Amino acid sequence: MKRILVTGGAGYIGSHTCVELMNAGHEVFIYDNFSNSSPIAIERVEKITGKAIRFIQGDILDQYLLENTIKASNCDTVIHFAGLKSVGESVKQPINYYENNVVGTLTLLKAMTNCNINKLVFSSSATVYGNPKFLPLTEDHPLSATNPYGNSKLIIEDILRDIHISSPDWSITILRYFNPVGAHSSGLIGEDPRGIPNNLMPYVAQVAIGRLAELTVFGNDYDTADGTGVRDYIHVSDLAKGHLKAIEQIGMPQCSEINLGTGVGYSVIDVINAFKRASNRDIPFRFAERRNGDIATCFADPKLAKEILGWEAELGIKEMCNDHWAWQHKNPEGYGVV
Ligand code: NAD
Ligand code: WQD
């Protein structure tokens, strides 16, 4: 049993990961400022697992509170989800993004150092591969960034690699997520974007439920089978189980980067059709210009995760859409209306 401090644990991926960790017998302590989440998510995790969760409302920029929380929770490991994640917003608010993501992570690392804990799992992203030079994307693909969000992840990865060089006893697992979608099979927790969603699946779900009128498909002239962008969508519960595996093997001095994806790519049209089948609703859409900064195709080589973590994704596009729809249908306003 490990005692784990989960920064950003009330968020989309964090809440699903807490379910898997708690079901496996680990103890979690959530640290979140609720800037992009709701405490209701924590109540729902308690409902799913039948266990109480300790949590504190706090900012990762607050080193004093972080250190007190690490001491009070007696944790031995940290999973660090907290941060801002919208690519478009990061272009408009670079200072906010670098401060929350980079300075926030540095503050956490200082707090961990002062409290003598050195086991960390970090949420990185396939965005660090930039525009793919080859596919599938292996962990040794060259790294680059085209926006402040992606750059913040690259800078943090570099910081973590440098820490491991200077203090080789640290155990750091950098997980690079592909496109997380779906929701817990209970329909009790899921993604609850504030305002108009930026990402495809939550947008499609809100069109299906009638909150949004139609989907805009960004580009139908890519060099893909149907001309629309192709991505490696991964069920959030599979992703959460990847964290459980990472936690179970963490401890040996190391710093590794591991893709968490399925290895399979689906186009925007594939997603629309799968979601139509899951929801039995119409999804009106129209084609528009490509979105700035988008790439044609992106999918993972997930072999290393299998080799190192003994993990591979089990759920396909059908389960992703079924579970995302169940969450949307049961919670049409997200956590806004209980
Ligand atoms: P999310 O916004 O749902 O969760 C992030 C959580 O962190 C939220 O609960 C938010 O309130 C909290 N938070 C933000 N800034 C904070 C701060 N300064 N102090 C304390 N708490 C703070 O996002 P998510 O989708 O669950 O993503 C989790 C992590 O995974 C992020 O680091 C994100 O960059 C990364 N990631 C997400 C995706 C994706 O598509 N969802 C893909 C790759 C990587
Ligand atoms: C998927 C496909 C769009 C919305 C982003 C971040 C990445 C990572 C995951 C955090 C693309 C198309 C989308 C819409 C559309 N996040 N689309 N209409 O861009 O692959 O990745 O989220 O780390 O860093 O960049 O995901 O879901 O936005 O787009 O046609 O309204 O859907 O063009 O082909 P993306 P996405």
Q: 100, 152, 200, 236: which to mutate for ligand 2, most atoms within 8 A of CB?
A: 200
The number of domains in the chain is 1
177 occurs within a structural domain: yes
CA distance linking residue 44 with residue 42, whole number of Å: 5
Phi, psi (5° rounding) for residue 202? -65, -30
Q: Residue written as tokens 């898997």?
A: 20
205 occurs within a structural domain: no
Decide if 8 contacts 105 (C-beta within 8 A): no
- Kindly state the DSSP code that residue 127 receives in the 8-state scheme: G
The number of residues making up the chain comes to 338
285 occurs within a structural domain: no
217: its two tokens = 């498909």
- Mean pLDDT by 10-residue block, N- to C-terminus, for the chain (338 residues)? 97 98 98 97 98 98 98 97 97 98 98 98 98 98 97 98 97 98 98 95 97 98 98 98 96 96 98 98 98 96 98 98 97 82
Helix axes 63-73, 104-114, angle to 10 degrees: 50
The pLDDT assigned to 338 comes to: 44
Q: Helix, strand, or coil here: 178? A: coil
Decide if 262 contacts 232 (C-beta within 8 A): yes
CA of 268 to the centre of ligand 2 (A): 10
68 occurs within a structural domain: yes
Kind of pairing between the strands at 119-125 and 77-80? parallel
Q: pTM above the 0.85 mark? A: yes
The pLDDT assigned to 69 comes to: 98
For the Cβ of 37 lying below 6 angstroms from any atom of ligand 1, the answer is: yes
80 Cα nearest atom in ligand 1 = 32
CA nearest 11: which of 191, 230, 139? 191
Residue range of the domain that includes 38? 3-182+234-262+300-310
The pLDDT assigned to 307 comes to: 97
35 Cα nearest atom in ligand 1 = 11
In 10 A of CB 216, how many CB atoms? 12
187 occurs within a structural domain: no
132 occurs within a structural domain: yes
Domain harbouring 12, CATH code: 3.40.50.720
Which ranges of the chain does DSSP label H, i.e. alpha helix?
A: 12-23, 39-49, 63-73, 87-92, 94-97, 104-114, 148-166, 200-209, 236-249, 268-279, 303-309, 317-330
254 occurs within a structural domain: yes
277 occurs within a structural domain: no
271 Cα nearest atom in ligand 2 = 32
Decide if 184 contacts 48 (C-beta within 8 A): yes
Q: Residue written as tokens 């809100």?
A: 206
CA of 119 to the centre of ligand 2 (A): 31
Query: Residues 6 or more apart from 223 whose CB is under 8 A from it?
Result: 296, 297
Which residue is catalytic, options 98, 149, 177, 203?
149
Amino acid at residue number 337: V
Q: Is the peptide bond before 136 cis (omega within 30 degrees of 0)?
A: yes
For the Cβ of 182 lying below 6 angstroms from any atom of ligand 1, the answer is: no
Q: 151, 179, 221: which to mutate for ligand 2, most atoms within 8 A of CB?
A: 179
